[in-house]
A and B are shown apart, each in its own frame.
Chain A
């Protein structure tokens, strides 16, 4: 898995690419996400448009990020869910936990 990240105004946008299955690559996403939260960034969007699939480790990373940022009075949102990721979130009922948008722009707009 590769990871691109950028900050647009005060919003962090993380773009993992590939498969999130565990191991060092998954740790990369986890650590980057938590680094930004520790820098007191309160708005995070994870663009999942280039994630082929993820397993429960990937879901755990998303939940960990969501919990931590909410404890810091922030919010984490998802964008561009692929069919496979959407399916997994539905199976695990996490679709009721995360706000998800069809595009980065819509996710950014939702923070206003």
Chain B
């Protein structure tokens, strides 16, 4: 078995475990490359038809290409798609000029509303350990409390592939079938499986998005990679981080406050 087969079979095993244990399960689909790969794996795990819904948390600020992609492929893949928007916050004018508050209201709160509405016990998420320092500490099955708090100092051990999948009342479990994948694994798998992916990832006028979210908080990186092959080649040599184009919200907010107090903003 080659590396991609191994990654794939472990992920499918986790997806099936999750489906076996939780009646109310959904896959969180952000339309990015990772969660689209996760959706692809869910389809493979259940022979083409996913027996639980996909949930898209829509902030209203996503790229138009993402909405088009979502609507097109949810139909082609016969998915049950739930879209959750925090209409109240959007109506109240919440927007990216208040970065941290905006993410909290439109993403975190949007997800809370969906969990309350549909009563999900568990969610499949496409996060990976190599994305960000804090994500390296994650487990495959990771409990969250009512406030969505994740206590990373008190997590179930996952030794010898034994997963703790029981949660206490008022919590939900986040399941991370892609935790062990790296960015370039994802692209190699996309290449092998010919997984469709939004065009934002491919170079246009010397720029491409390496990580996508809301239009307001993502920036393209300089790149000429316009095919999956070229992206893989680029990733094999790059030294910049995957999320370099993402607004480093907290740190930038801190820097801005500091510079403002000193009269530099």
Q: Do A and B bind each other?
A: no
- Spell out B's residues near A (CB within 8 Å): none
